[in-house]
Amino acid sequence: MMNVKLPTIKKQVFDRIIRSGLVSKAELMKRLTVTSTSLTRILEELLTDGLILASELGRSTGGRKPILYRVNPSHRAVFGLEISRFSSSIGLYDLNLKPLAFERWKMDDQMTPERLIGKITVLAERMLNDCHIEREKVIGIGIGAVGPLSREDGIMLKPRYFPAEGWSNVAICESLEQSLGLPALLDNGANTAIIGEHWALRTEEVEHMLYVHAGVGLRTAMMSGGQIVRGAVDMEGSFGQMIIQTDGPRLGDEGNYGALEAMVSIPALEKKIRSQLTMGKSSTLIALPAEDIRFDALQDAFAKGDSFVTEQFMQTATYLGIGIANLINILHPEAVILGGPLVNVDKKIYDTVIEVARSNIYYSPQYEPRFSQGQLTEDAVTAGAAVMLLQEWDLS
| H or E segment to which residue 273 belongs | helix 266-278
pLDDT at 32: 85
Report the CATH number that the domain containing residue 132 is assigned in CATH.
3.30.420.40
Q: Which residues pair with 83 in a beta bridge?
A: 88, 145
Tell me, yes or no, whether 2 lies in a domain. no
How confident is the model over 240-282, as pLDDT tens digits? 888 888 888 888 777 888 889 989 999 999 999 998 888 888 8
**Percent of the chain residues topping a pLDDT of 70:** 95
DSSP 243: B
User: Within this chain, do residues 219 and 335 fall inside the same structural domain, yes or no?
Assistant: yes
Rounded Cα–Cα distance for residues 71 and 87 (Å): 32
d(CA 2, CA 392): 9
Nearest to 113 by CA among 162, 161, 65: 162
**pLDDT surpasses 80 at 291:** yes
Last residue in a domain, options 71, 96, 121: 71
Task: Tell me, yes or no, whether 91 and 234 share the same domain.
Answer: no
pLDDT one-digit tens code per residue, 166-218? 999 999 999 999 999 999 999 999 999 999 999 999 888 899 999 999 998 89
Number of domains in the chain: 3
E-strand stretches of the chain = 23-24, 52-57, 67-71, 77-83, 87-94, 99-106, 138-145, 149-150, 155-156, 184-188, 209-214, 218-224, 227-228, 335-339, 370-372
Range of the domain at 190: 77-196+379-392
Give the three-state DSSP class for 147. Answer: coil
263 domain residue, yes or no: yes
pLDDT in tens, 31-50: 888 888 988 999 999 999 99
> Over 60: is that where the pLDDT of 4 sits?
no
Q: How many CB atoms lie within 10 A of CB 334?
A: 18
Let me know whether 359 and 219 are in one domain: yes
Kindly report the average pLDDT of the chain as a whole number: 90
Whether residues 86 and 106 share a domain: the answer is: yes
Share of the chain above pLDDT 90, in %: 62
Model's pTM, two decimal places? 0.89
